[in-house]
Structure 1
């Protein structure tokens, strides 16, 4: 049986190639001709070029072309390309830069990886060898910087997050909202794709940095500032919304019993790490940092390399039904620390929120309560977990 060609594979999965271009007259024709060896399903987005790009594209009337009257940025060009590809019935799109750094010969690598993948909800990023001599140091640094923030925002470690040679599952992404239009779009799209359950992974590709022909439109100060602002926002959303949502979904899917068995008792973390995670969760949950418990506990669990699921679960000691009791206990703890003898009731707290009238007592009491409870329950859970672990080992050796 004859092996399918790359063109047939691209057609079978309804995949096209999108080439965004802006003032790359030296390399554009070579890139187009290289892609045509593999497919005629090409969409070129001329992002307001002012050089001879328009004249070059006249030689390719058979190719879908979008000509923008003015330059709006690579992100905008890609978003328009995705929208047009979707209107033509394509489900996937491979994007390749027009500056000549990518090799069209790597297109089969993308399509073969997609064809073999069980999960077709897949976004592939070509991983460049950033250690070779021709790669500018600023590009290598920028890539490491981007890789770190992508990991912080998604928990996924990648070798290369800035390569423009990618395969996008545009039929999976079209319901997502994007707000950026410059180079930072390529970060926004992979982060939001990962948040939405798309598998994001690297595949190896070749790279060529020919400074005599390559024209880069990346503006270090402006674009790096844009990227930094975007990453700041994405990190905030990650800790305020995405990580709590993911943990809650896991907890809801598993149920309390399965969560305890798998994430708590069955987890491979040491008793010390689990107990410290419990102590952290209880401390933050009882602290007077209302509204910020989740983001703080997840951030600290990440920084301290603790179990995020356990820390988050125990930080919910102050969920709404328990809040009046937590406040009441904090007020009486504050009384004890400050040597006061005020009397408080649940009715007072519920009706008048007594903590506001005795704010100093409440804050000191809640911090004291958090310290005592976290240390006590942390130590207790450590010994119980250690006992459980030893019993489990003894049973396995019996």
Structure 2
């Protein structure tokens, strides 16, 4: 079989191999292997417990590095095993494609060319199957839309295709990431996108061809696999609120200093004064609300949901930063007592050990009214200041 030796050599220079995970794809496996072997011999194949004629087919390909798993555990698990083997052999990157016949091995050069043309050699490339126009199965398109929505929700990445198995993984860059043990099926392909983005790895789509042959066997389960992806993303939303957003916020603040950060990230944001003011109001409202322990998660979730400025909302939610908690409790209880015409003593010293629980009704009512009032005042004040700042900048530029 004649090889495209130039591409094979380019793959070797990039320390890139091909990793294939297969399970009961006896109808299409040989054709996929033959297509890939036109370009390279460096193939690691993980047989994920196939019970069809896959073992017999593989006897015809002694040049492959084959890992036979005794029991089927899922595509994610098989890929992790294949990636570990690739790293063990000294490879720094791996191209994957599905063995169900939907991908064209002829697209392999596209990935190599895209990586070579980029200054970023840690690029994470995902094949874009053009799900809106290509002749694809409804359940595949549905799963991709669900995954794409949630990936965009937690990362901001606008990817057309998040579930494509035709990818170029920067294994060396991903090596330090500890993936979840239970992501053994299709949800792993969503997890790796999110975690790679959070690690600072650039994730981009690359147009590819796609075909769904009649003899194709798919193991994607629309309900269960989509449910697993949604559960994974819910966990990511929590992680983003509790760790990722605060981490990025403090990193930028530390790097720039407060003055530069305030001018560039706050005043200099491309968001409109209205959007910034609403972000301020949201942050103050959540920060003063009686939702202790969940302020960060809730403010980030709402900022993403309403498409507000996450940095501003998070910053102003810290109005209830630990040193200020007694004052917030005190002000809430005083407000509640006033509204209910209570005369109960409410000195700030009583509240340092959360004795406001004794007056729960007053506290809850007061905190809600206080949070709404303060959010309105801070939002309006912020809007006025931002409008004046914007006009001043325009006058200076003219």
Give the TM-score, by structure 1 length.
Answer: 0.94
Q: Distance in 1 between matches of 2:321 and 2:256?
A: 20
Q: Distance in 1 between matches of 2:319 and 2:257?
A: 17
Shift of 1:156: 0.7
Shift of 1:251: 2.9
- In the alignment, what sits opposite 2:45? 44
Distance 1:270 1:133, change over 3 A: closer
Structure 1, gaps ≥5 residues long: none
Q: How does 1:84-99 map to 2 (within 5 A)?
A: 84-99=85-100
- Check conservation: 1:294, 1:312, Cα contact below 8 A: yes
Q: Distance in 2 between matches of 1:384 and 1:223?
A: 49
Q: Distance in 1 between matches of 2:234 and 2:385?
A: 40
- Check conservation: 1:17, 1:95, Cα contact below 8 A: yes
What is the root-mean-square deviation of aligned Cα atoms in Å?
1.8
- In the alignment, what sits opposite 1:332? 334
Q: Distance in 2 between matches of 1:220 and 1:327?
A: 48
Q: What is the DSSP-based 3-state SS (H/G/I as helix, E as strand, rest coil) of the residue aligned with 2:196? A: helix
- In the alignment, what sits opposite 2:252? 250
Quick check: 1:191 aligned with 2:185?
no
Distance 1:282 1:13, change over 3 A: same
Quick check: 1:204 aligned with 2:207?
yes
- Check conservation: 2:150, 2:230, Cα contact below 8 A: no
Q: What is the DSSP-based 3-state SS (H/G/I as helix, E as strand, rest coil) of the residue aligned with 2:257? A: helix
Q: What is the DSSP-based 3-state SS (H/G/I as helix, E as strand, rest coil) of the residue aligned with 1:135? A: coil
Give the stretch that moved more between structures: 240-249 or 261-270.
240-249
Shift of 1:346: 3.0
- Check conservation: 1:184, 1:227, Cα contact below 8 A: yes
Structure 2, gaps ≥5 residues long: none
- Check conservation: 1:18, 1:93, Cα contact below 8 A: yes
Q: Distance in 1 between matches of 2:73 and 2:121?
A: 31
List per-residue Cα deviations over 1:224-258 (Å, max 9, x = no partner).
Answer: 33333323333333333323333333333332212
- In the alignment, what sits opposite 2:310? 308
- Check conservation: 1:325, 1:346, Cα contact below 8 A: yes
Shift of 1:4: 8.9
Q: Distance in 2 between matches of 1:75 and 1:267?
A: 39
Shift of 1:44: 0.9
Shift of 1:271: 1.6
- In the alignment, what sits opposite 1:25? 26
Distance 1:12 1:340, change over 3 A: same
Q: Distance in 1 between matches of 2:96 and 2:113?
A: 16
Q: What is the DSSP-based 3-state SS (H/G/I as helix, E as strand, rest coil) of the residue aligned with 1:229? A: helix
- Check conservation: 2:5, 2:39, Cα contact below 8 A: no
